[in-house]
Structure 1
């Protein structure tokens, strides 16, 4: 299935730290995951104030959501990462932890990393929004 997905970095665009500027998916089904939050199975926020712990929970949740539709991180064709940024520069650290996580291959595709003032749950520091091209 991943042969239906091609990732491109065109000449003339800046080098990237692992993602691709363009992801092309040949015809097929897609899954649009809701933003994955650092909540455990009971809905409790994991790791208040701890970006690494929250990223680990988000990665685990995203892996479970992908598996529920028969997909893996390599099937992800678009990602948007939201990190609460208070000026302490957590964006690069979040990127490195996510790309080194169990869902790391998801971030070799077209990706956007955003610093935001606040997310949906009190104490939430990170959220990941993924779109996957589903296997046949």
Structure 2
């Protein structure tokens, strides 16, 4: 079982935990999941953060399942969003946390605004590490 800690000596985080401790065992380090459809194309119209976030969620759920894990097994997440607008970063965060993938973001999580990601037109990417049951 994962242990989540928030020391009283640092600020209380909005939904995630500062520290996630997993029992000894195997970890699955998943590649950053991009908003790519099965045919390898970036989904959504230009600037469609919602469509891209939804595809990233679907891809994360698929790779977690292939590893034998569930969102609740995630011990670390990093979310990349192509934007300097904190409201846009928060909107992606909120959409992730309203999805089936939400338990993944209760552990140690980092949300970053970045200048660019690997695929032309890509706006969102999620990188996960899961403790295998």
**TM-score of the superposition, structure 2-length normalised?**
0.96
Unaligned runs of 5+ in 1: none
**CA deviation vs aligned residue, 1:69-101 (integer Å, no higher than 9, x gap):** 110000000000000014473111011001111
Within the candidate set 3, 8, 18, 1:6 is matched to 3
CA contact (8 A) 1:60 1:102 kept: no
Within the candidate set 50, 53, 64, 1:55 is matched to 53
Following superposition, the deviation at residue 47 of structure 1 comes to 0.7
SS in 2 for 1:31: strand
Aligned length: 132
**Distance in 2 separating the partners of 1:129 and 1:107:** 11
Structural RMSD (CA)? 1.0
Within the candidate set 72, 75, 81, 1:74 is matched to 72
CA contact (8 A) 1:81 1:127 kept: yes
| Structure 1 residues 7 and 88: CA distance shift in structure 2, 3 A | closer
2:130 paired residue number: 132
1:18 partnered with 2:8: no
Alignment of 1:24-103 (within 5 A): 24-48=21-45, 49-87=47-85, 89-103=87-101
Unaligned runs of 5+ in 2: none
**Distance in 1 separating the partners of 2:8 and 2:29:** 29
2:117 paired residue number: 119
